[in-house]
Chain A
Amino acid sequence: EPEVTQTPSHQVTQMGQEVILRCVPISNHLYFYWYRQILGQKVEFLVSFYNNEISEKSEIFDDQFSVERPDGSNFTLKIRSTKLEDSAMYFCASIGGGITGELFFGEGSRLTVL
């Protein structure tokens, strides 16, 4: 069964450092998303991406965040200068299309900022 893969599974970084989280969506999917979940809290939408551009972003997704699809398979989330409050699980998700389609989630990348 096709799946969304994320790397790294866990990253520890120092405050102020840049972090890149990588995702490989399902190959024929067209819409990509990043979500964040602070430990024990709700899953929060960060950004959606379609046709090589951001289609929607939340207020969380400020200038410290950026997304990129550098090639035909990878979808990355970059945090330029990490803060303590960026510690969370980051989920990548993709969907083929249509309102009935489920979002396929990756297993998440846990980011710990010290």
Chain B
Amino acid sequence: AQKITQTQPGMFVQEKEAVTLDCTYDTSDPSYGLFWYKQPSSGEMIFLIYQGSYDQQNATEGRYSLNFQKARKSANLVISASQLGDSAMYFCAMRGGANSKLTFGKGITLSVRP
């Protein structure tokens, strides 16, 4: 079974500053993938970034980077230079095997202050 834990309460960040959203996971699968999705108030799920369990380097996608610490089973999302449009709910998720379902954490609300 897979488990994703997101325990931070609502997060606040000043515009243009960086913010880290925490995610820890648990799985018995030897190979797995970790994902972050953004859900703005309009409701859609927007893919942000992916990290494979065997990837040697941390994933980066523009202002998003994933701080992957395999031994600690953590996959924190770092957003640099926050923008007002980054205000949203952020979900960490994982997949244990090819084409298997994604398991989601409960999400973190991020609010960017001007």
Contact = CB atoms under 8 A, between A and B. Distances in A.
Q: Do the two chains bind?
A: yes
Interface of B is mostly: loop
B68 interface: no
Given A41-B106, A42-B105, A43-B104, A102 B99 contact: no
A93 to B, nearest CB: 8
Interface in A11-49: 30-31, 33, 41-45, 48
Contacts, number: 64
15 contacts: A33-B102, A42-B104, A42-B107, A43-B93, A43-B104, A48-B99, A48-B100, A48-B101, A50-B99, A91-B45, A98-B98, A99-B95, A99-B98, A100-B33, A110-B43
Interface of A is mostly: strand
Contacts of B95: 99
Given A41-B106, A43-B104, A97 B43 contact: no
Contacts of B107: 42-43
The range of chain B's interface size is: 20 to 34
